[in-house]
Amino acid sequence: MTEIRQLALRAREAARALARTSTAVRDGALVAMADALRRETALILAANALDMEAAGTAGTPAPLLDRLMLDAARIDGIAAAVEALAREVDPIGEVVSGHRMPNGIWLQQVRVPLGVVAMIYEARPNVTADAAALCVKTGNAAVLRGGSLAIHSCLAISDVLAEAATAAGLPAHSIQSITSTDRAATDELMSLHGLIDVLIPRGGAGLIRNCVENSRVPVIETGVGNCHIYVHNGADLDMALPIVINAKCQRPGVCNAAESLLVDESVCETHLPPILRALAAAGVELHGDERTRSLGAVEVVPATEEDWGTEYLDMKMSVKVVSGLGEAIEHINTYGTKHSEAIITGDYEAAKRFLDEVDAAAVYVNASTRFTDGGEFGLGAEIGISTQKLHARGPMGLVALTSTKYLAMGDGQVRP
3-state secondary structure of 146: coil
Q: How far apart are CA 31 and CA 4, in angstroms?
A: 29
159: which residues sit within 8 A by CB, 6+ positions away? 177
21: which residues sit within 8 A by CB, 6+ positions away? 139, 169, 170, 171
Question: What's the pLDDT score for residue 1?
Answer: 66
For the beta carbon of residue 91, count every other beta carbon within 10 angstroms.
21
Q: How far apart are CA 147 and CA 124, in angstroms?
A: 8
Q: How far apart are CA 271 and CA 159, in angstroms?
A: 52
Do the beta carbons of residue 79 and residue 386 sit within 8 Å?
A: no
Do the beta carbons of residue 362 and residue 394 sit within 8 Å?
A: yes
Packing angle between helix 237-249 and helix 268-281, nearest 10 degrees? 40
Do the beta carbons of residue 276 and residue 318 sit within 8 Å?
A: no
Q: Which of 300, 259, 255 is nearest to 277 (CA)?
A: 300
3-state secondary structure of 332: helix
Q: How far apart are CA 368 and CA 246, in angstroms?
A: 7
| 284-290 LR contacts (CB < 8 Å, sep 24+) | 284/248, 284/249, 284/315, 284/316, 284/317, 285/315, 285/316, 285/317, 286/316, 286/317, 286/318, 286/319, 287/316, 287/317, 287/318, 287/319, 288/318, 288/319, 288/320, 289/319, 289/320, 289/321
Cα dihedral sign, 169-172-175-177: positive
Per-residue pLDDT of the chain (416 residues; tens, 9 = 90+): 699 999 999 999 999 999 999 999 999 999 999 999 999 999 999 999 999 999 999 998 887 888 899 999 999 999 999 999 999 999 999 999 999 999 999 999 999 999 999 999 987 899 999 999 999 999 999 999 998 999 999 999 999 999 999 999 999 999 999 999 888 999 999 999 999 999 999 888 888 889 999 999 999 988 789 999 999 999 999 999 999 999 999 999 889 999 999 999 999 999 999 999 999 999 999 999 999 999 999 999 999 999 999 999 899 999 999 999 999 999 999 999 999 999 999 999 999 999 999 999 999 999 999 999 988 998 877 888 999 888 899 999 999 999 999 999 999 999 99
CA-CA distances (angstroms) from residue 94 to 108, 111, 399? 10, 5, 10
Tally of CA atoms within 13 A in the half-sphere of 89 that contains its CB? 7
For the beta carbon of residue 24, count every other beta carbon within 10 angstroms.
11
Ordered structural domains, the chain, with CATH: 3-221+388-409 (3.40.605.10), 227-371 (3.40.309.10)
Question: What's the pLDDT score for residue 380?
Answer: 73
Do the beta carbons of residue 229 and residue 339 sit within 8 Å?
A: no
Q: Which of 177, 132, 160, 166 is nearest to 21 (CA)?
A: 166
Q: How far apart are CA 231 and CA 344, in angstroms?
A: 5
